[in-house]
Amino acid sequence: DVKVTQSSRYLVKRTGEKVFLECVQDMDHENMFWYRQDPGLGLRLIYFSYDVKMKEKGDIPEGYSVSREKKERFSLILESASTNQTSMYLCASSRRDVSETQYFGPGTRLLVL
Amino acid sequence: DAKTTQPPSMDCAEGRAANLPCNHSTISGNEYVYWYRQIHSQGPQYIIHGLKNNETNEMASLIITEDRKSSTLILPHATLRDTAVYYCIVRPGFPYNTNAGKSTFGDGTTLTVKP
């Protein structure tokens, strides 16, 4: 079974803090993704990565950065957290094959005060 | 990526088959149909996917019409634990998916399984 884990299920931070969200997958997948999910807006792609040290912007990269130093780990960084970044953050991974089925982690619910 | 249309909600009796429809009339030839579900406050769970042929796995069956403009996810014996939001997504696979990951998870169908 594919396993995608995220460092925290719930996180509370203050405005202006630097926030790190970690994601680890154990299936040697090439692709990894960060989404945020908000009511009425569905899932929106923040960043994705095809390989180690590679990153591509998704639909809403502003205010975020990412790091992929190892194949199994993909980090999302909020340089200076703001209240509009309060959301559910979801990590996913997929193998680079014809179908590229994505497998998701349990999510991190972030509250920025 | 092609857009999908799903009913906002459905009910199903426990033990009966749940049939969840999805319309994707603008699907193109290299786009797969994927189904995921999301139980409250958890990450989406992959269920099944297909290109042209009907597919079955331990969780569900996927029926794709011959013109590929619609599909149905079938949960053969729904249980209370199948209560969730079900998402139907279409997008190309590699190497056509130049925007890998830009799956559009819309509002989905909220399936409520009742005792």
Helix, strand and coil content of chain A, in percent to the nearest 5, comes to 5, 55, 45
Quote the CA–CA distance of A67 and A14 in Å, as a whole number. 22
Q: Which pLDDT score is estimated for B103?
A: 57
H helical segments located in chain A: none
Q: Which pLDDT score is estimated for A110?
A: 97
Q: Which pLDDT score is estimated for B99?
A: 53
DSSP conformational letter for B81? G
**B96 pLDDT above the threshold of 80:** no
According to the per-residue pLDDT averaged within each range, which of B30-44, B48-62, B96-110 is highest? B48-62
For B25-51, how does the pLDDT look when each residue is reduced to its tens digit (9 = 90+)?
A: 988 888 889 999 999 888 999 999 999
For A88-108, how does the pLDDT look when each residue is reduced to its tens digit (9 = 90+)?
A: 999 999 888 777 788 999 999
- Contact criterion met (CB below 8 Å) for B30 and B93: yes
Q: Is residue A104 less than 8 Å (CB to CB) from chain B?
A: yes
> DSSP 3-state assignment of B36?
strand
**B95 pLDDT above the threshold of 80:** no
Quote the CA–CA distance of B28 and B7 in Å, as a whole number. 22
The model's confidence at residue B76, banded by pLDDT at 50, 70 and 90, is very high
- Contact criterion met (CB below 8 Å) for B101 and A95: no
Q: Is residue B98 less than 8 Å (CB to CB) from chain A?
A: no
> Which H or E element spans position B84?
strand B84-92
Query: B58 — phi, psi (to 5°)?
Result: -70, -15
Closest Cα in chain A, distance from residue B15 (Å): 26
**Which residues partner with B12 through β-bridges?**
B113
Q: Is residue A105 less than 8 Å (CB to CB) from chain B?
A: yes
Q: Which of A74, A89, A76, A71 is nearest to A27 (CA)?
A: A71
What residues of A are in contact with residue B32 (Cβ under 8 Å)?
99
Average pLDDT taken over every residue of chain B:
88
Quote the CA–CA distance of A107 and A110 in Å, as a whole number. 9
Quote the CA–CA distance of A43 and A38 in Å, as a whole number. 7
Instruction: Using CB atoms, pick whichever of A33, A88, A97 lies closest to residue B94.
Output: A97
